[in-house]
Structure 1
Amino acid sequence: MRDIVDDLLRLWHSGRMGGLATIVRTVGTDSFPVGSALLVGPDGAAHGTIGGGPLEETVYEAAFQAARIGRRGLQRYNVAIGREVGSLGEGTVDIFIEPFSRRDFPEFPTVAAEIAAHRQITVFTVVWNSDPDVIGQHLITDKRHATDLIALPESDVFVCSFAPPPRLIIFGANAFAAALTTQARMIGYRVTICDARPDFASASAFPGAEVVSDWPHRYLNSLTAAGEIDAGTAMVVLSHDPKFEIPLLTIALRLPELGYLAAQGDPITHARRMEDLLAGGFDETTLARLHSPAGLDIGARTPAEVAVSITAELLATRSGRSGRARSDPAVPKAPARMGL
């Protein structure tokens, strides 16, 4: 639902009613992530997705009806044919469909504000109850919970937890940083760009990113001291200048936890970088944590192409995948997942 928060908020403020469909459970498919949501406005406009295909067409109609008549309920569908089924089995999803308006979710602006401020917020929604009047009730809390469908004696409750987004820190303000900012924000990262050169570290040049003018190693030290670096933090060095990147990488490679650490550069820059770090006392095992040169080998040249390459490697690293083509017979297929 995070990707349609702004659409939901606009509808809420309009005073009109829409229909909201949310995947709350999947069995035997990983193509439809739990928590994915589709909003259908009163005029039929759709926002978000639950995966496309025949399932989305069917669910669109159900959500549109919810927008028109206020119907709510938990529906079970077969993914392949996009039709309702009665039993839970391979290739099925449970989707909660509900009306969405000021009256149906009066607390929603609080949820939207907490998400925008990168603070933890969790929404509990009753998706089934023996009392129909209870279905669709929402409760919000700032406590962290796993996103899950919980079966209680008389209710099923969907818990949707919105943790602060992972952070990507880009060192070096240039065209590659601008392109990478766009890509990273599309996959849910909060982006900060740091550059010691005030003339380059301009907020207007990097919409959607926090821009900091400071020496990279000093800024990283301040973040570390404040406890703002964790196992989900990604860092990409785009400066290419030894006086900036070597002090920075010396600190970064000594951090116990990082989700992704990379440095851009051609083979000559990479060789010089490795020599400098080896001379600084780092061994081969430690240097293996550094993705250098950054990105997957996809023939990228332009800033936009390089941003795709680096983002792809970031995703592969985060998920523990090889980054090879999914059509490669040597790539193991993801096992079917039962439940959430």
Structure 2
Amino acid sequence: MSKIVTFGEVLMRLSTPGFSRFEQARQLDVTYAGGEANVASALAYWGHHTAHVTRFPDSPIGRSAAQYLHFHGVDISNIIYGGPRMAVYFLETGAALRASQIVYDRVNSSLATIDPSELNWDEILKDANWFHWAGITPALSQGAADACLAGIEAARRKEITVSGDIFYRANLWKYGKKPSDVLPALTAGTDIVIANRENIKEIFGIDGNDFIESCVNLKKAFPQVSRVVDTKRTSISATHNLLRAYLWNGTSVLETPDIDINPIVDRVGGGDAFIAGLIHGLISFNDEQKALEFGVAASALKHTIEGDALISTVAEVEAIRQGETSGRIRR
């Protein structure tokens, strides 16, 4: 199978038990998560060689986070250690009319304080077929943004496919740069962009009358881009959503039917599962429509699993793609 390298911050996730509010909780459940690492772990369960690149504190917490990735089948040989602390996020899971809440605590984390020279991208990307990044990581610091750009540039030199999820967290950009200052250079070296009309306009100042025109105009500005992908979530309640996806391939837009997800167990990581499914589909199938449907099915399945990681087999995702959503017991 292909070797897929991902780069980004991994956080300690502290979540309230069940559907408890922060004010009610007297203990918190611990796991580890990060958007790009979630992509790597899902792909590892489907038989791909995945390697995640990040920086952890040289402490029992940092080593615990690395072992978590290793447990999920991710190659941790390119993780480096240093810096002051582990990034953390707190999660309160919503229900019915009450939305989930996330509180981040990631200032001065180990990855935020990285020196880009600590990473030898030519060695890291040896024998790789795919490199994936996301817009949250360059939001952390100039060092993290420069490290991400160096990874993309190395992938370009090696003619490795690059995918980038340019969705970002506006409140994370606190080092004097805006997304529009940083993300264009990263997108310039990216083949497959996960984006919608709104953030294409916000980040690049590129507009269009519809998704197709926005994609066409994005391609004019960034010729390397060959596909643009977006998902549409219809939220009926915090525990009941509909999910579909779109893919522009340079000539037309493909679209999936909605998948009805009810009840949702844990929606965090659903977008990462979609990206993992799309990458698997594009690598494994000679069929963009099937690849897109596999991505949506993977995302839907993730909504039924606690934690950020999608733990599944290809067969389970494929069954959902084919419409087997009854949830009947398998014997």
- TM-score norm. by structure 1 comes to 0.31
- TM-score norm. by structure 2 comes to 0.32
Which has the larger Rg?
A: 1
